[in-house]
């Protein structure tokens, strides 16, 4: 089926085969730094994060990122936050926890936040430079990529200065560290305790405790899938193609198999062709799809979910990391319009079998 230019542009496959999945020695160093800090600091999770990220001292205020204090602290690593008149406001600092999770894409720090308002504050701090940008209720997690970790930078400086007492740190930093962001920038996953996609437990016929446990695992594996595509293809974006793939893996890892009814509810399509306003689907359109094309988008997404359900039924439970990677890559390398088409199931199985051979 042919779609107009606006839809074709939005649905264009963004994954490139030119990127290669690698874990650098600098990334391994980053994880060791986190693990050592968690063991030795004697601080709680939120205090550790403040050591790493000065933005977590600053309140959420319009254009605070343009102030001298913010620029000096967050961009230059100075202790300007010590004289702040106002600080960040959280409801439950004690329930901010950190663990290092060994995902299919490698180890990554995972931050869990119990209070929903505190999660929104973290979104504003990390993704919007402490500006009070509204956070959708249906947003419950994010992968942050490329955040300056000032504790890592200060550690690098201390060790280098100890071995080079008469050297120039600024020259060393600009020549040998700045070109290698993995040495001082972090990738982190931040998870809330909300019901996944803001879908209540009773809507899925589950108890609150069951749904909280499922929601946590779906979120964690969803973000780890974004991490995998970021490393493999150089892409992890708020696009419906990405989200279908990440939710597929998240559901399978939490529930043991794909559940298309859950997926339709996550996207607000449980009563298709009606769409439930406020659902996650609209979070990923970013004014790129006009009102007149919205119904076509809902049809494509619903059809793609049906195809993915058949694909998962053919393959059964995920058996290994290799199996999981093959499924992710199969879905990435097949255009979403093709997945939603009548030949989608055949195309996915053909691509998956090719992956199995090459990975084997």
| Token digits of residue 319 | 């058996």
What predicted TM-score, i.e. pTM, was given to this entire model?
0.93
Shortest CA distance to 148 belongs to which of 190, 108, 186?
A: 186
- Antiparallel, parallel or unpaired: β 106-113 and 96-103: antiparallel
| Token digits of residue 169 | 């740190």
In this prediction, residue 271 carries a pLDDT of 96
Distance between CA 185 and CA 167 in Å, rounded? Answer: 24
Distance between CA 322 and CA 312 in Å, rounded? Answer: 15
In this prediction, residue 2 carries a pLDDT of 65
Mean pLDDT of 321-332: 96
pLDDT category of residue 187 using cuts at 50, 70 and 90:
very high
Distance between CA 248 and CA 263 in Å, rounded? Answer: 8
Query: Dihedrals φ, ψ of 59, to 5°?
Result: -70, 165
Question: The sheet that has 96-103: what strands, in order across it?
Answer: 96-103, 106-113, 185-192, 141-148
Distance between CA 209 and CA 241 in Å, rounded? Answer: 30
Helix, strand, coil content of the chain in percent (nearest 5): 60, 10, 35
**pLDDT surpassing 90 at residue 242:** yes
Torsion, Cα of 42, 185, 332, 320 (10° steps):
-40
pLDDT averaged over every residue in the chain: 93
Q: Enumerate the domain spans of the chain.
A: 22-194, 203-360
| Range scoring the smallest mean pLDDT among 20-34, 62-76, 224-238 | 20-34
Distance between CA 227 and CA 230 in Å, rounded? Answer: 5
Write out pLDDT tens, residues 131-186: 999 999 999 999 999 999 999 999 999 999 999 999 999 999 999 999 999 999 99
pLDDT category of residue 8 using cuts at 50, 70 and 90:
confident
In this prediction, residue 158 carries a pLDDT of 96
pLDDT category of residue 293 using cuts at 50, 70 and 90:
confident
In this prediction, residue 237 carries a pLDDT of 79
pLDDT category of residue 18 using cuts at 50, 70 and 90:
low
Assess contact for 236 and 145: CB atoms under 8 A: yes
In this prediction, residue 308 carries a pLDDT of 98
Write out pLDDT tens, residues 88-118: 999 999 999 999 999 999 999 999 999 999 9
b/e map 174-183, b = 16+ CB within 10 Å: eeebeeeebb
**pLDDT surpassing 90 at residue 7:** no
């Amino acid at each position: 089926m042919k779609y107009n230019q606006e839809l074709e542009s939005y649905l264009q496959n963004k994954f490139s085969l030119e990127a290669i999945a690698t874990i650098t020695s600098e990334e391994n160093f980053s994880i060791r730094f986190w693990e050592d800090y968690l063991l030795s600091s004697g601080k709680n999770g939120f205090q550790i994060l403040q050591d790493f990220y000065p933005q977590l001292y600053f309140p959420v205020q319009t254009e605070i990122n343009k102030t001298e204090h913010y620029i000096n602290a967050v961009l230059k690593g100075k202790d300007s936050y010590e004289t702040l008149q106002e600080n960040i406001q959280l409801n439950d600092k004690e329930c901010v926890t950190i663990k290092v999770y060994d995902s299919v894409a490698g180890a990554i720090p995972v931050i869990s936040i119990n209070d929903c308002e505190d999660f929104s504050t973290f979104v504003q701090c990390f993704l919007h430079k402490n500006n009070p940008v509204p956070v959708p209720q249906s947003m419950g997690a994010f992968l942050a990529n490329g955040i300056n970790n000032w504790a890592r930078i200060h550690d690098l400086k201390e060790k280098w200065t100890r071995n080079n007492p008469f050297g120039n740190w600024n020259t060393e930093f600009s020549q040998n560290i700045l070109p290698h962001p993995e040495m001082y920038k972090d990738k982190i996953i931040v998870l809330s305790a909300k019901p996944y996609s803001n879908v209540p437990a009773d809507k899925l016929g589950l108890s609150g405790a069951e749904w909280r446990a499922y929601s946590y695992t779906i979120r964690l594996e969803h973000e780890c899938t974004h991490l995998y595509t970021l490393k493999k293809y150089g892409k992890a974006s708020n696009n419906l193609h990405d989200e279908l793939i990440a939710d597929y893996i998240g559901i399978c890892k939490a529930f043991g198999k794909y559940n298309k009814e859950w997926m339709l509810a996550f996207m607000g399509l449980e009563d298709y062709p009606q769409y439930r306003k406020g659902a996650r689907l609209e979070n990923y359109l970013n004014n790129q799809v006009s009102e007149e094309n919205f119904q076509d988008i809902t049809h494509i997404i619903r059809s793609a979910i049906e195809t993915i359900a058949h694909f998962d039924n053919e393959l059964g439970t995920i058996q290994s990391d290799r199996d999981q990677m093959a499924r992710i890559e199969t879905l990435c390398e097949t255009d979403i319009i093709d997945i939603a088409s009548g030949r989608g199931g055949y195309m996915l199985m053909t691509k998956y079998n090719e992956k199995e051979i090459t990975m084997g």
